[in-house]
Structure 1
Amino acid sequence: MRVSTRSVRPTFGHRRVARPSCHASSPDAQQGAPARTRRNVLHFFGALGLSGLLPLPAHATEADARQRLLDAIKAKKGDEEVITVLRELAKSNSTAGAARSPALAGRWNLLWASSNAEVSRVKRLPIPAESTQLLGKDFVGEEGRGANLIDIFNGAVEVKLSSAAVPDDKANDTIVIGPPFYLELHLGGVNIPIQDTQPGGGRKSILGNELNYFRQLYLEDSGKPGDLRVSEVYEGDPAVKGSIFVHERT
């Protein structure tokens, strides 16, 4: 290193003074300066992103929330933690008018249900059991119908509850589930009717007759297995009102 002096213009009447300045004489040091500068800039903007001063790309935020939801479900976290994450994910929902989207139709396996949902008991059974929801004519066999299936012992026993399932006239993110309800048991290839409720009919020992409003909080629309869907019952039968579900397309 060598030290040189350069003249500094006097100010306010003071006499001229010498100010030392250092210059790197090594070519390697000179070449490394731009790299250090780039690293500093990247570090600066990265820190801004982490601190929230610069927003992360929407797809990055959505992917992160999606993975955290799946992790919370896999780890069997409590309702509060799972619901916090799924509501964060719901903010990034890009499928407008989910209740009328063709992507809603399909076969959906239940990944998680809030503890106040009747179907959550299926996940707690000490025997092999799965809950699946069918939506759309290609999967139910009728237009404007839906069905919930509970498969026990890998399909040896199947309980099927079918219902009307139509988009709400007043909210394009909501599906209305209501009568006629049909509850059936499939056992050994035999279909056994258990109970049904018709429009205008009264409540029965098992089935209600209310309209239940399922808001689609989040819907992935690739149409491929692995798509996620989050829904919430915000109005209807007291037995299901407030229930939240996470389904995965199969």
Structure 2
Amino acid sequence: MKSDYLELTDVRVTFDGFVAVDGVTMTVLQGDLRFLIGPNGAGKTTLVDAITGLVPATGSATFGRTELLNRKVHRIARLGVGRTFQTASVFEELTVLQNLDIAAGSGRGPLTMLRKRSSTPPEVEAALEVIGLTDLRDRQAGVLAHGQKQWLEIGMLLVQDSKVLLLDEPVAGMSAEERQQTGELLQRVGENCTVVVVEHDMDFMRSFATSVTVLHAGRVLSEGTVAQVQADPKVQEVYLGRAEVEA
């Protein structure tokens, strides 16, 4: 639907007089793999916190024409807005399949959750395929590789029918191969979802971003394609550094 996009208008977050997010306005369309970058303290995670109900904010953040700001966290999640944190939040003692079952709210009780099932819900099968963990469905989540845990968490959002994914540094601590696989995963997910990636890894951003928003001191400093942002003198001066931009 044309209304299924994330629209931020003049979003502001203030802590005891300190302005952490200072009037951010941006639009992220479905299929636009948007990277949100900027130096530490630029307001990236705080902006995501505001969208997902963790901190109060003024202005407007809408998805599907529904206002998100200042709603309860669980209500925002039910509207189809999901997020991940830098450390994956999975049930490590349960299997990949059981984690997805719980996230899907399939109604299975604690005892039945531990039993083998004769069939798997189609949304769980689809998520397993998308995140590339079909062959590991019976593997305990706690023994998964670091990157695989992040993929599982993304899968847990997908089975909840999240249409907006806000991902906080999803490739932090990953190997080069895991970063590549994660980027390809985000491209697959981005075909049907609106995806915003908070990221510090500039090589990862260059490889996979469709568009980039640069925050500095809580404000939008620059926005555009990777090439446009890298060529912006303001970005070169304030954030990326001329040598790194030209690399």
Normalized against structure 2, the TM-score is what?
0.24
- Which structure has greater strand proportion? 1
Higher Rg: 1
- Which structure has greater helix proportion? 2
Structure with the bigger RCO (C-alpha within 8 Å, sep 6+) is 2
